[in-house]
Structure 1
C-alpha cells in the first residue's frame, strides 16, 4: 500500500527500496486491507462465516491498535500554540499524534465492546470498526505530515474515506440479507467493568507515553 499510494514511480525505478522498511512503510491501511483479504480467503477455504468471525475480532483489533500506537515514533506537526500536552522533539514542540489516535481508538473499543449484544446482522460490528477507525485516522491525519492530495487532505484521508464509503455500502447490503444469530448476552455489570478497564488503559497509556517522550 505504501508503495502504490505514496510514491509508485520512485519504487518502480528502485524496487529494492520496497523492502527497506527501516526507512518507512508498513502503513496501517495496507495492513488492514491485506488482513481482510487474507481472512476472506481463509474463511472461504475453511467454510466459515467471515462476517461472524470479523465481528468477534473487531473489538480486539482496535484494542491492539490503541495499545500499539503508544509505541509509534511518528510524531505530528509542530504546534502553533504551546499546549502543555505537546512533546518536544529536536527542540520543536510537536503534536503527540500517537496518543491522539490511541485515545480515539480506546474510545472506539469501548463503543464496540458495549454494542456486542446489540448488533442486528453478521458483520455489523466489524463494519462499525472500519468506519470508526477510518474516522479516527482521518481526524488525527490533520496533525500528521503525509503527502497531500488536495491540501489539507492527505492520501490517508482519501483511503479512510474510501473505506468508510465501501463499509456503508456493505452495511446496507448485509442489512438486507438478515443473516444473524445473536448468541451474546451481556449484563450491565460486565459492560461497566469493561468501560472502567478501558479508562484505566487510557490513563496508563498516557503515563507510559509521556514517560518515554
Structure 2
C-alpha cells in the first residue's frame, strides 16, 4: 500500500513497517509494565532488559528459520540474511520462548504467570506488525478477484504490482486481534497458570495454518510441495506440543 509513511526532504524517511513495529513495541511494553508492576512490583529497567533480550532473540530466530527455508540459496548469498528484510515469525517466537524462560527464572519471576502476560503482549505487538506488513506488501496473498481483494501499485511494495490479491496481512491482523480478545476474556477465568500462553500457541497455530492456504509469497517454501508449507508443518508441531503441555499443566495444577 504505502511502504514509505513520509519523507522529510532527502535526509529522513519513515517506513511504514518500522513505524508500526515501534508502535506495537510501545504498546506491548506499556501492557507488560502495567501488569508486572501491578502483580509483581517490577521496575521499568527489568522490562526494558526483557524486551531487549526478546528483540535480539526475535531477530536471530527469524533469520535462522529464514535460512532453513532455502539453505542452498542463503549459503551462497549469506549477505541477504543481514538485511532488514526477511523474517520468519515462527523462528522469532520459538527463539523467544527459551529466552523468556531464562529471563524469568534469573529475575525470580513466576514463569507460567509471566508467560500468560507475554501471550497477550505478543498479540499486541504482532497485530501492529501485520498492519506494517500490509503497508509494505510483504506476506501477501495469492491472486484473487473477490470483493476483498487488494491491489498494490507502489513500486516500493514487496507484493506483485497491479494484481488483485488476498489481503492475507489483514486476515492475520484480524485473527491476532480476535485471539487477543479471547485471551483477555480467559485472563479472568483461567483455571491454571500457563493456560493463556498455551491457548495462544494453539489458536495462533490453527489460524496460521488456515491463512497459509491464501498466502502467495511462495519463497517461504514447502515441506510437501504445493500442499504443506513450512509454517503449516511447524504449526502442526506447535499444536501437538501445546496440547501435551496444556493437559499436563491442567492435571498438575487442578488435580
TM over 0.5: yes
CA shift at 1:161, angstroms?
Answer: 1.2
SS of 1:84's equivalent in the other structure is coil
SS of 1:119's equivalent in the other structure is coil
SS of 1:156's equivalent in the other structure is helix
1:107 corresponds to: 178
Q: Is the 2:123–2:180 Cα contact (8 Å) retained in structure 1?
A: yes
Could you report, residue by residue, the CA deviation over 1:165-191 in whole angstroms, capped at 9, with x for unpaired residues? 111111122112217xxxxxxxxxxxx
Q: Does residue 1:83 correspond to 2:158, yes or no? A: no
1:53 corresponds to: 114
Distance of 1:5 and 1:136 partners within structure 2: 23
Distance of 1:106 and 1:41 partners within structure 2: 28
Superposed CA RMSD = 1.9
For 1:93-172, what aligned pairs fall within 5 Å after superposition? Answer: 93-145=164-216, 146=218, 147-150=221-224, 151-172=226-247
Distance of 1:14 and 1:83 partners within structure 2: 38
SS of 1:149's equivalent in the other structure is strand
Q: Does residue 1:19 correspond to 2:93, yes or no? A: no
Paired residues, what number? Answer: 176
CA shift at 1:65, angstroms?
Answer: 1.4
Q: Is the 1:142–1:153 Cα contact (8 Å) retained in structure 2?
A: no
Q: Is the 2:66–2:88 Cα contact (8 Å) retained in structure 1?
A: no
2:132 corresponds to: 71
Specify which of 95, 99, 106 is matched with residue 38 of structure 1.
99
Q: Structure 2, unaligned stretches of length 5 or more?
A: 1-63, 153-160
4+ runs deviating over 6 angstroms: none
CA shift at 1:31, angstroms?
Answer: 0.9
Q: Is the 2:67–2:81 Cα contact (8 Å) retained in structure 1?
A: no
Change (3 A) 1:119 1:78: same
Query: Normalized against structure 1, the TM-score is what?
Result: 0.76
Q: Is the 1:138–1:157 Cα contact (8 Å) retained in structure 2?
A: yes
Q: Does residue 1:5 correspond to 2:68, yes or no? A: yes
Distance of 1:92 and 1:14 partners within structure 2: 29
Distance of 2:77 and 2:162 partners within structure 1: 34
